[in-house]
Copies of this chain bind each other. A is one copy, B any other.
Amino acid sequence: MTTTPPIGEILGADTPMNWGRWGPDDEVGSLNYLTNAEVLKGVRAVKSGKTFTLMVHMGNPTGDPVWPGRRGSEKLMVIDEGTFRGDKAPQFPGGLHYADDFVTAFLQGSTQYDALGHVWYDGEIYNGYDAATTIGGLSKASILPIAEKGIVGRGVLIDMARYRGKEYLEKGETFDHRDLEAAAQAQGVSIEPRSILLIRTGFIEYFYTVPQSEFYDGFNEPGLTYSRALVEWFRDMEIPNLITDTIANEVTYEPETGCALPLHCALMRNLGVTFTEICMLDKLAADCAEDGQWDFLYTAAPLKVVNGTGSPVNPIAIK
């Protein structure tokens, strides 16, 4: 491979931008598209009341799917019934017993929302804030304003694995907006402007079926791949939120240039599209395939972590 050019050069000076579109103080980007009208559109998608939660297990003793270099969370008991067999348990009038626990966790070490300030290039994060505002915690475009807003709207699930007749897409396998449109058509659903976009690749399910050494070997997740047309499609469709069952929502290395994660830059940093990663979409996808209803009310709210780069989350789909 020849040397990868800088991301800014790959995307080009005229790459689509939403900076300033919602004012100089905006920190939630394309989530601004989720107006009350979009909430009501999501509500109208509900037919049966079936609900699905989309988080993976957190703190699984056998290991959680995380980006290389991060660790899964460590959970420790502070108090449990064993504590009351000793002499150091708290004593309350009436004699209540209780259990308490404590965790250490990477904020991006499980199913999670990224703050818009999570990635950047050329010294500026989303909306043109100085990258130095990330130092010591995100003063700007942190997860907090996203958590304050909450994400509610019409979600639509595109099952790329099922569309391609696979249990899961292969390492490095790519697709783009035209594939999404084709899959949607095959599913009989339409991706509408301002839809919350969920894409299933099966890759997180693959994590749970193979030894972790196999999962991480030659790490290169399948996923969406960069093209100018794809970025324009996201801009024109006003997609507020991209949700996948991979760790990083896009093919890890863009095949043509070798660039790592250019869509994080083109979509999140430049257009303000919020990313939601490491979801588990198996049950939702199976149900949609069965009843033919691929859209739903989507609700999610990351934790209100002050200055956070992201937050674990357990999104809900209501059909």
Q: By the criterion CB–CB under 8 Å, are A78 and B81 in contact?
A: no
Q: Which residues of B sit under 8 angstroms from A48, Cβ to Cβ?
A: 36, 40
Q: Which residues of B sit under 8 angstroms from A137, Cβ to Cβ?
A: 75, 77, 80, 88, 101
Counting CB contacts under 8 A, is A227 at the interface?
no
Instruction: Say which residue of B98, B144, B315 sits within 8 Å of A118 (CB atoms).
Output: B98
Counting CB contacts under 8 A, is A121 at the interface?
yes
Counting CB contacts under 8 A, is A139 at the interface?
yes
Q: Which residues of B sit under 8 angstroms from A257, Cβ to Cβ?
A: 93-94
Counting CB contacts under 8 A, is A110 at the interface?
yes
Q: By the criterion CB–CB under 8 Å, are B94 and A10 in contact?
A: yes
Q: By the criterion CB–CB under 8 Å, are B306 and A59 in contact?
A: yes
Q: By the criterion CB–CB under 8 Å, are B136 and A260 in contact?
A: no
Q: CA separation between A120 and B115, bound complex, in Å?
A: 33
Q: Which residues of B sit under 8 angstroms from A75, Cβ to Cβ?
A: 107, 137, 305-308
Q: By the criterion CB–CB under 8 Å, are A106 and B96 in contact?
A: no
Counting CB contacts under 8 A, is A15 at the interface?
no
Q: Which residues of B sit under 8 angstroms from A96, Cβ to Cβ?
A: 7, 119-121, 260-261, 264-265
Q: By the criterion CB–CB under 8 Å, are B102 and A107 in contact?
A: yes
Q: By the criterion CB–CB under 8 Å, are A316 and B301 in contact?
A: yes
Q: How far is the CB of A268 from chain B (nearest CB, A)?
A: 10
List residues of A (30-79) whose CB comes within 8 Å of B's CBs: 35-40, 43, 46, 48-53, 55-61, 69-71, 73-79
Q: By the criterion CB–CB under 8 Å, are B303 and A314 in contact?
A: yes
Q: Which residues of B sit under 8 angstroms from A150, Cβ to Cβ?
A: 51-53, 314, 316
Q: How far is the CB of A114 from chain B (nearest CB, A)?
A: 9
Q: Which residues of B sit under 8 angstroms from A80, Cβ to Cβ?
A: 82, 86, 134-137
Counting CB contacts under 8 A, is A191 at the interface?
no
A94 with B49, Cβ < 8 A, contacts A55-B147, A136-B77 known? no
Counting CB contacts under 8 A, is A297 at the interface?
yes
Q: By the criterion CB–CB under 8 Å, are B94 and A6 in contact?
A: yes
A49 with B78, Cβ < 8 A, contacts A58-B306, A87-B135, A138-B99 known? no
Q: By the criterion CB–CB under 8 Å, are A135 and B299 in contact?
A: no
A120 with B98, Cβ < 8 A, contacts A80-B134, A305-B59 known? yes
Binding site for B on A (CB under 8 A): 4-7, 10, 35-40, 43, 46, 48-53, 55-61, 69-71, 73-83, 85-90, 92-108, 110-111, 115, 117-121, 123, 131-139, 144, 147-150, 152, 253-254, 257-262, 264-265, 297, 299, 301-310, 312-316, 318
Q: List 22 A–B pairs whose Cβ atoms lie within 8 Å, in order of A's numbering.
A: A35-B49, A36-B50, A37-B49, A38-B49, A40-B49, A53-B150, A69-B90, A71-B71, A76-B102, A77-B135, A85-B132, A86-B133, A93-B253, A94-B254, A94-B259, A99-B117, A99-B309, A101-B310, A102-B104, A102-B105, A102-B107, A304-B314
